[in-house]
Structure 1
Amino acid sequence: MTHSPRPSAQASLPLLVAVTMTGTVALHIFVPALAAAAADLGTTPVAAQLTITLYLVGLACGQLVYGPVSDRFGRRPVLIAGLSLYLAGLLLAIPATSIEVLIVARVLQSLGACGSLVLGRAMVRDVSTATDAARKIAILTMAMTLTPALAPAIGGLVAGAFGWRAVFVVLAAVVAGLAALVVRTLPETNRHPVALPGIGAVAGAYLRLLRNPAYRAYMLAGACAGTSLYAFLAVAPFLLVDRLGRSSQEVGLDCLIVVAGMVVGSGIAGRLAGRMPIRRAARIGNGICLAAALALLAIDRSGALTVTTLLAPLVLYAVGIGLLGPNAVAGLMNVDPHAAGSASSLYGFMQMALGALFTLAVATWHDGSAMPVAVTLMAASVIAALALRRA
């Protein structure tokens, strides 16, 4: 096991925020460069979108492993291993000369990055009470919403100025710096390691969580909220560029505007923590999402789609996600605090698996209109609403 700088149950929340943000930054920062990479590698939009879909698949599958392993060996060494794999994938992507190599690199990135998502949440739960965890998870969620807000804008500027490969150069430098900081300063937070279970025991632990109605409800609702907006991000470069005439830099800024709504919603969630029941706050957030999805569908069918009329309902939808997401996560993490790693892993798997399905659906259905996005967002909201009835 990697030596910890000091045996302490405390961990810097800002550092955990930074760690958690890295989990999806590679997904979002590449979105504005997607069309340029497709053209440079001589591939189709559908093939290029696999770099998004398969990234989500990697995030989904990898998270099932990180939780139980970190419950046994500790959060810190497992996090360091994940960041190392993440960096290797970024370095492979920089010289890629074919879409196949780029896809492999993206999968490696996702398998490393998913450790940041699982372990950031688990480490917060390790050192927090149930009530304090809700507040801190809201902060983590707000930080995670900053990632898809800021990363596309940064990616668009970098790709526009230096080319799409430069996006991975910048991100590799950031991940390397963060890994060094983790090695030097992050303590171990798992004070009660458990024996590493076999595959049957791991599956049994997941089944026990799934048998809990509250866990199932919050997991499904949170997963729908957490990744449904990826349906828009997957087709944003092609919808905004081809249909609405936007540039790569403008696509990044448009994504920034949309995801800024998630920051607002997460801020509201943080203010409501401890003042409103988790279930009620989650249902209000999902109601906002459903209303926004219906508005987007109506706008598209009426033929009134412009940059403004596309972004406005998406911003509102993002506000709903920001309110629903952290409350759902807080609810499911409180079901069994002693299995925080496994609870986080299973949630992460469901979240990214649904995200992959959402992006694959809109990529396959994409017809130049906003209807595939609107219908997907509406379906996610309906699923979440049905789930929350059982919370």
Structure 2
Amino acid sequence: MWLLVLVTLSGTMAMHIFVPALPVAGSALHAPAASMQQTITLYVIGLALGQLVYGPVSDTWGRRPALLVGLGLYLSASVVALCAPTLEWLLAARLVQALGGAAGITLGRAIVRDIAPPERVTKDLALLNLLTLVGPGLAPIVGSYLAEHFGWRAIYLFLVGMGVAMVLCTWRMLPETNRQRRPLAIAGIARDYRTLLCTPRFAGFMLGGACSTTALYPYLATAPYIVHEQLGYPIAMVGWFAAATIVGASLGTLVTRRLAGRYPAERFLYVGGGIGLSMAFALLVVQLAGWLNGPILVAVTLVMTLGAGMSSPAALSRGLSAVPWLTGSAAGLYGFGQMAMGALGTKLVGYGDNPVVACAVTQICIIGLALASYRFAAAQPVAVQGGQPAR
């Protein structure tokens, strides 16, 4: 599990770790701010697209070879980014780095689904899903420390070190876990994804889980404007306000891991979603009433992400179990949905003049959609290969 945690963290952490260093790197590479922002955009695109590939490929090649290829890409691209002489080299390296990092997110989940007994699937997936939640919150803190004390290239030196450790440990320690190989065909991949999307149970849990996991993205996107411009805190404090998402998501995931064997997963879906929705409404109310301050913002964010930490792993567990013979493809498509919903949520908060109102309204819509999706998916049967659906 610690190895799967490491490979999952690498993919999500590299997404936002470079954000604090954008101005410094832009000056060093003589690139404008808008061009430097593409290093983040391309990473999100690569992370989303890469997850569509590794799932079906691992269903054919096996989890271990596919993961080693992805980690090799991640390490090689990190080296290129470390030595990048121009913005063009850095952009290309970031895209390839994301395509490699997607392997850890997708295949970590697939491996857990391969080997964990039914009573432990939700618990183990909860730990991996936590990294999808806390990676974006932890990364700016690490990135700002490295950039401030050692320069922007130190960030990529750090990622190179992670890449070396992951490749060596995976090569030496990880066994093959996929015992049901399938022939690889492009038409077959498209058919698998069509099967998943046309399976109501999987589609519902994928949409709900994507919404729950990325409900914190609107807050991360607006935090600099809320914390610095509205509340008047120094810009250096933004990372610590973002850290509240780590605490909340960790507590929520801990609750799910401890209680997963005692209660059905659907309970965590509805309780976690209800907590998140109530906190989104609370954020809107305190802003409109003029009561918003730093402690209230931290408290609301912490409780909201606690709800996300509770519901997200249960949704992931149910989603990967909806079509059991397509676990790899399901993991890839599920991850793609998470990144796509995260990008959509980040885009939506750009509309409106008040960042707090935009953040709260976006979160209300996203979490409300998650709860509706869970209710729909829970009422659908589990697919059975070559036979009739069964509950």
User: Which residue of structure 2 aligns with residue 117 of structure 1?
Assistant: 105
Cα distance in 2 between the residues matched to 1:121 and 1:269: 17
**Aligned partners of 1:152 and 1:253 also within 8 Å:** no
User: Which residue of structure 1 aligns with residue 383 of structure 2?
Assistant: none
User: Which residue of structure 1 aligns with residue 52 of structure 2?
Assistant: 64
Cα distance in 2 between the residues matched to 1:325 and 1:230: 14
Per-residue CA deviations over 1:187-208 (Å, capped at 9, x if unaligned) read 1111221111x22221211122
Worse overlay, 206-215 or 95-104: 95-104
Equivalence map 1:1-391=2 (5 Å): 13-34=1-22, 36-37=24-25, 47-96=35-84, 100-196=88-184, 198-247=185-234, 249-362=236-349, 364-365=350-351, 367=353, 369-391=355-377
Per-residue CA deviations over 1:171-226 (Å, capped at 9, x if unaligned) read 22122222111112211111221111x22221211122222222111110101112
Cα distance in 1 between the residues matched to 2:137 and 2:226: 18
Indicate the SS of the match to 1:194: coil
Worse overlay, 179-188 or 39-48: 39-48
Structure 1 residues without counterparts, runs of 5 or longer: 1-12
CA 1:199–1:71 in structure 2 vs 1: closer, same or farther (change >3 Å)?
same
Q: CA RMSD in A?
A: 2.4
Per-residue CA deviations over 1:104-142 (Å, capped at 9, x if unaligned) read 332222111011011000011111222221121122223
Paired positions, count: 377
CA 1:230–1:90 in structure 2 vs 1: closer, same or farther (change >3 Å)?
farther
Identity of aligned residues (%): 41
Give 1:237 deviation, angstroms: 4.0
Cα distance in 2 between the residues matched to 1:298 and 1:44: 38
**Aligned partners of 1:85 and 1:108 also within 8 Å:** yes
Per-residue CA deviations over 1:282-323 (Å, capped at 9, x if unaligned) read 011111111111122223333444333332222121111101
Counterpart residue type for residue 189 of structure 2:
V
Cα distance in 1 between the residues matched to 2:218 and 2:85: 27
Cα distance in 1 between the residues matched to 2:87 and 2:352: 20
**Aligned partners of 2:277 and 2:367 also within 8 Å:** yes
Indicate the SS of the match to 2:310: helix
Cα distance in 2 between the residues matched to 1:226 and 1:175: 25
Worse overlay, 202-211 or 299-308: 299-308
- Which one scores higher on RCO, CA 8 angstroms, separation ≥ 6? 1
Counterpart residue type for residue 261 of structure 1:
G
With the length of structure 2 as denominator, give the TM-score of the two structures: 0.88
Indicate the SS of the match to 1:214: helix
Counterpart residue type for residue 323 of structure 1:
M
**Aligned partners of 1:230 and 1:358 also within 8 Å:** yes
**Aligned partners of 2:280 and 2:364 also within 8 Å:** yes
Cα distance in 2 between the residues matched to 1:301 and 1:191: 56
Counterpart residue type for residue 365 of structure 2:
A
Worse overlay, 138-147 or 206-215: 138-147
Give 1:360 deviation, angstroms: 2.7
Cα distance in 2 between the residues matched to 1:367 and 1:98: 36
CA 1:107–1:360 in structure 2 vs 1: closer, same or farther (change >3 Å)?
farther
Worse overlay, 172-181 or 264-273: 172-181
Cα distance in 1 between the residues matched to 2:348 and 2:110: 31
**Aligned partners of 2:47 and 2:102 also within 8 Å:** yes
Cα distance in 1 between the residues matched to 2:150 and 2:87: 20
